[in-house]
Structure 1
Amino acid sequence: MKKSKILVLGAGGIGGYFGGRLAENGEDVTFLVREGRRKILAGQGLQIESPFGDAQITVKTILASETAPIYDIVLLTCKAYDLGDAVAAIAPAVSSTGCVLPFLNGLAHIDLLNEKFGRDRVLGGTAKIQATITPNGAIRQYNDWRTLTFGEQSGQMTPRVAALGALFGAAKGVEALPVGDVMQRMWEKLVHLSTAATMTCLMRANVGEIVRTPHGRAIFLDQLRCGAAIAAANGHPPSPAFMQSWEETFSQKDSQYSTSMLRDIERGGRTEVEHILGYMLEKAAKAQIAHETLLLAYTNVKAFEERRAAGRLS
C-alpha cells in the first residue's frame, strides 16, 4: 500500500517532535524549513530527547522554493503571527486531493485556512505537548504530554481521519485521538488557554502566585466563566466536566502552571495576543458579554508590544 506523503512545516517543538516520530516509524515525511535549520538537520539529523525514548533520525528537508503539489497531508505547526507566511509557503505543496492539519493555538487560523484551501480540505486539531528546541538544535520533550486530537470540521468520522489516527497511533511516544467533535474541543481549549493567558499576562505571575493573593482565585474563576460564555454564544458551551477540571486547576495555590504568552513577554519576544485574546475580545463584544478583565489583559499585552517595537523593554 502506498504511503501518504507528509509535509511538516517547520521542525520546532511540535512539528519536529510529531513529524520526527512519524519519520522514525518509517513514514514518508519531509520537513519544510529555512536554510539554517536545514543545515542543522543535514549535519546531525533530527534529534529528540524524550521520556519515551531518545532518537536521532535522518530526515528529508526542502526549502519554500523547492515545493511541489505532491503532499497528501500537510502539518501546520507555526506560531500564529507567522500564519500568513506559513500559508503562502505550504499552498504550492498541497496535492489536489491533499489536506491541511493545523496544530495552532486558538481558532482564528481556521477561517483563513478555509478561505485558502476550502473547508473540506482543512481539519481541526490540537496538540498537547511541552517541547522546545535546545541550543544544540535537538527537540526536548519535558513531560509525558504527547497527545494529538484531530477531526473533520463537519464532525464526520471520515476514512482520512481514521487513517491519520492509525498513522500517528503507530508512532512511538504519540497518543492520537481522532474525534467527531474537534471544533468543540478546540473551543474548550481556547477557553482554558485564553483564561490562563489573560490572568498570567495581566498579573505577570503563574497560577499559584495569582491564587495565593486575596482576590486572585475569584478573578480567575470569573474570567473562566467569561470564556465559557463566549464559547456558548458561538455554539460550543463547555461541558460541566471541563469547567470543574479547570476550576480546580485555577484554584491550586501551589500550581506553577504558566503560559507560553507570558514566557514570550518575559523573554521580550513576539506574542500570539491577537490570535488568542484579540479573537476572544472580538467574540465577546459581538455577543455583548462583559469582558473587562479580558480587555485589560489584551491592552496590557498590546502596550508591551508597543514598548518592544520602540526598543524600550530594558
Structure 2
Amino acid sequence: MRILVVGAGATGGFFGALLVKAGRDVTFLVRPNRAAALRERGLRLTGLGEEEVITPQLVTAAELTAPYDLVLLSVKATALQQAIDDVAPAIGPRTSIVPLLNGMAQLGELTARFGARPVLGGVAKVVTTLNAEGDIVRLASLAHLEIGEQDGSPSARLEDLRTVLEGAGITVGVPEDIVAAMWHKWVFITTIGAVTCLMRGTVGDVNAVPGGSAFALAVLAEAGAVAAAAGYTVPEGQLDVIGRMVTQDAPFASSLYRDVVAGHPTEAEHIFGDFLDHARTLRVDTPLLDLATLHLRVHQHRAAEATEASGRPSEAA
C-alpha cells in the first residue's frame, strides 16, 4: 500500500515516521522549504525515548503525479485549502483520505472537492510538538488513530487500513460512529484550548488559583452542551476524563496555547469559530467560549499583521 502523508509536522511527521520505521511505503508531501530542511537534517524524533533520525521519501506539489492508496492529511487548518489543491493529483478512484485535523469542517471541504467515497473520518490522539529546528518532540508515548466511514457503515477497507497502520507502534480504533468520535475530540480540544489560551497558562497554572477549577469545568459544560444539542452527547465517562484532565495540577497545555505563546497564527476559526457557529444555530449559550474565541481572534489579527510586516509567507505543510 502506497501511503502519502500530507505535512511532516508534529502529527503527520510523527505517524509517518512510525510507519516508515515499520517498513511501510511512505512518502511525505511537503512545501519546498520543509523539504530542504528534511533533506539536510532528516526527520528527527526527540523528547521521550531515544532520539531517532528517519530519512524520508519526499515530494513537493509540483512533483506529485500519481495516485496513492492512502492519504493521511495532517496540515494545520489554515493550510487546508492549499493542501487540497496540492494533493489532488494523488487522489484516484481507490484512494482513501484520512484527515487528521481537529474540528469538523474538513469533512465537508474534502467531500466537496473529491466526493464522499474517498473521505473517511479520522481522529488522531498524540502528544507531540515541533521544536525550533523543526524536529518532532514526543511529550508522551500516546500514538492512537481512529478511522471510520462517514455514514458509520462497516467496510473492508477499514480493516485493510487498520492492518497497515497497526504494527507500527500505532493503535487503531474503528468506532461505530466516527463523526461522534470527532465531535467528542472537538469538545476536548475546544475546552482545553479555551482554558489555557484565555487564562494564558497551563492547566496546572489555572487550577493553582482560587476559582480555576470551577472555571475549567464551566468551559467543559458549555462545550458539552453544544455537542449534545448537535446530537453527539459526550458519554458521562468521557466527560469525567476530560474534567479530570482540565482540573489536574500538571503543566499540561493545548497546542493552541503553545502557538499563542510563540506568537504564531492559530486554528482559531476552524476550531472555535466553527464550533460557535454550531452553538448559535443550535441556540446554546456559550459566554466563556465566546470570550475565548474573541481572545484568539485578537491574537490571530496581531499574528497576521506581524507576518505581513515581516514579509514571510505562511508555511502550509
Partner of 1:294: 289
Contact 2:265 2:304 in 1 (8 A): no
| Per-residue deviation, 1:83 | 0.6
Q: Secondary structure at the match of 2:69?
A: strand
What is the count of residue pairs matched by the alignment?
Answer: 308
Post-superposition Cα deviations, 1:133-184, rounded to whole Å, max 9, x if no partner, equal 344443332211111111111112311111111111111x322223322211
In structure 1, how many angstroms separate the alpha carbons of the residues matched to 2:51 and 2:59? 24
Contact 2:48 2:137 in 1 (8 A): no
Structure 1 segment 10-159 matched on structure 2, within 5 A: 10-49=7-46, 51=48, 54-159=51-156
| Per-residue deviation, 1:6 | 1.0
Q: Secondary structure at the match of 2:184?
A: helix
Q: Secondary structure at the match of 1:13?
A: coil
| Per-residue deviation, 1:98 | 0.6
Aligned residue among 276, 280, 302 for 1:285: 280
- Residue 6 of structure 1 pairs with residue 39 of structure 2: no
In structure 1, how many angstroms separate the alpha carbons of the residues matched to 2:202 and 2:208? 10
In structure 1, how many angstroms separate the alpha carbons of the residues matched to 2:305 and 2:64? 37
- Residue 201 of structure 1 pairs with residue 197 of structure 2: yes
Question: How does the TM-score come out when normalised to structure 2?
Answer: 0.90
| Per-residue deviation, 1:80 | 0.7
Which AA in structure 2 matches 1:66? E
Which AA in structure 2 matches 1:91? A
Aligned residue among 213, 222, 236 for 2:232: 236
Question: How does the TM-score come out when normalised to structure 1?
Answer: 0.91
Which AA in structure 1 matches 2:19? L
Contact 1:77 1:102 in 2 (8 A): yes
| Per-residue deviation, 1:209 | 2.0
Structure 1 residues 133 and 263, CA gap change in structure 2 (3 angstroms): closer
Contact 1:268 1:308 in 2 (8 A): yes
In structure 1, how many angstroms separate the alpha carbons of the residues matched to 2:40 and 2:243? 47
| Per-residue deviation, 1:53 | 5.7
Aligned residue among 237, 242, 245 for 1:246: 242
In structure 1, how many angstroms separate the alpha carbons of the residues matched to 2:166 and 2:144? 10
Higher relative contact order (CA 8 A, sep 6+): 2
Which structure 2 segments of 5+ residues have no match?
310-317
Which structure 1 segments of 5+ residues have no match?
none
Which AA in structure 2 matches 1:256? P
- Residue 165 of structure 1 pairs with residue 169 of structure 2: no
Identity %: 35
Partner of 1:192: 188
Contact 1:69 1:96 in 2 (8 A): no
Structure 1 residues 69 and 14, CA gap change in structure 2 (3 angstroms): same
Which AA in structure 2 matches 1:195? T
Which AA in structure 2 matches 1:259? S
In structure 1, how many angstroms separate the alpha carbons of the residues matched to 2:202 and 2:56? 37
Partner of 2:220: 224
